[in-house]
């Protein structure tokens, strides 16, 4: 239902353009993270949950084997994509993926976070959640070509900024 609702929104944008010749843009955000993300929110991403657990000195939980991958994008890059899309000189409907364009496994993510946080905890592995996507990575070639978008922070730099903000 979540993905279908997003696709429906894009179809409405395309329809609106065809009926009224409007400039319409849809931005498809991948796994956004950054300072001030609430780890207790039901919409919170895995990064803020992992950070919260590590700082509480509690083992993080990984559903599945941890080799599932995600494309993590720093919040400043999402802001840059929004501003670029807002002022882009194009006509018609456009849909753009907003991500870093690279994939990271949850095991790699946790290792990198632990290295930055100076912790060493063995995660608790639980049964994979039904319906979870195994691999997800944004193809950002269109937004790069049409809007000049380029991620400004590596995952490590973004994680460091996030950790600094919560300490």
Please list the active-site residues: 2
Q: Two tokens at 9? A: 């929104």
Residue 19 belongs to what H/E stretch?
A: helix 2-20
Distances (CA, A) of 141 to 100, 101, 126, 138: 11, 8, 35, 9
* Phi, psi values for residue 120, rounded to 5°: -150, 95
For residue 151 the two structure tokens come to: 């991620």
Question: Can you read off the two tokens belonging to residue 78?
Answer: 């999402």
Distance of alpha carbon 133 from its chain centroid, rounded? Answer: 14
How many whole angstroms separate alpha carbon 25 and alpha carbon 28? 10
Torsional sign, CA 2, 61, 51, 68: negative
């Amino acid at each position: 239902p979540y993905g279908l609702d997003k696709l429906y929104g894009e179809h409405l944008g395309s329809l609106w353009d065809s009926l009224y010749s409007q400039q319409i843009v849809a931005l498809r955000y991948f796994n956004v993270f950054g300072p001030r993300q609430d780890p207790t929110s039901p919409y919170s991403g895995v990064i803020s949950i992992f950070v919260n657990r590590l700082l509480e000195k509690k083992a993080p939980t990984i559903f599945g084997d941890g080799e599932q991958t995600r494309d993590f994008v720093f919040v400043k890059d999402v802001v840059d994509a929004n501003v670029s899309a807002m002022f882009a000189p194009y006509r018609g409907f456009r849909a753009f993926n907003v991500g870093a364009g690279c994939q990271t496994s949850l095991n790699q993510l946790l290792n990198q976070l632990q290295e930055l946080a100076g912790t060493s905890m063995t995660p608790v592995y639980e049964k994979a959640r039904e319906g979870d996507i195994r691999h997800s990575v944004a193809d950002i070639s269109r937004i790069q070509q049409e809007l000049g978008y380029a991620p400004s922070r590596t995952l490590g730099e973004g994680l460091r900024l996030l950790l600094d903000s919560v300490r």
